[in-house]
């Protein structure tokens, strides 16, 4: 593993004081990982856009840079973003995420795995209510 992997993965604002000059020195090198890091960091700017058209222009420009970077994982991610662009652009107007829903769905799947084969659907629903609402289990 890369000796500097932790620097590439950290958010810039989470770097310790001793890590900042190390990252700055790495960024001065002309390596593919530097290009990938800069594109990764520039993608963060998308989330500050509030107007759909400017967000779309940003994504188009970022997509062009990523697909011309000659870095396959970055190109693959850029195409993933392109395929889901409409849903991603919805963020600019809605400012909501389905993260809570996904978390609840994961809990429900865990309930189903733990108690494979409920006798009735009402028992399954009851188990979901107990798990997701934090209700105490009956003794």
Question: Per-residue pLDDT tens for 14-30?
Answer: 999 999 999 999 999 98
Per-domain residue ranges of the chain: 49-96, 99-133
| Residue pLDDT, tens place only, 100-123 | 888 889 998 988 888 777 778 888
Instruction: Name the pTM for this structure.
Output: 0.69
Question: Alpha carbon of 76 to those of 12, 24, 69, 80, 89: distances in Å?
Answer: 24, 27, 11, 6, 19
Please, are residues 7 and 26 in contact by the beta-carbon 8 Å criterion? yes
Write the DSSP assignment of 100-112 as a string of letters. HHHHHHHHHHHHH
Instruction: Enumerate residues 6+ apart whose C-beta is below 8 A from 2.
Output: 8, 33
Please, are residues 74 and 37 in contact by the beta-carbon 8 Å criterion? no
Q: pLDDT-based confidence at 64, cuts 50/70/90? A: very high
Sign, CA torsion 17/22/26/28: positive
Percent of the chain with pLDDT over 90: 51
Q: How far apart are CA 98 and CA 49, in angstroms?
A: 19
């Amino acid at each position: 593993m890369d000796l500097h992997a932790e620097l590439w993965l950290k958010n810039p604002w989470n770097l310790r004081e001793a890590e900042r000059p190390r990252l700055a020195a790495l960024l001065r090198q002309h390596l593919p990982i530097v290009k990938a890091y800069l594109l990764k960091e520039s993608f963060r700017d998308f989330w500050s856009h509030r107007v759909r058209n400017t967000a779309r222009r940003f994504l188009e420009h970022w997509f062009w840079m990523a697909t011309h970077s000659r870095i396959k994982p970055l190109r693959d991610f850029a195409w993933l973003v392109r395929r889901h662009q409409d849903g991603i652009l919805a963020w600019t107007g809605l400012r909501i995420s389905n993260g809570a829903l996904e978390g609840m769905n994961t809990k429900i799947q865990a309930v189903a795995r733990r108690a494979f084969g409920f006798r009735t659907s009402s028992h399954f629903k009851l188990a979901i209510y107990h798990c997701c609402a934090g209700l105490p289990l009956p003794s």
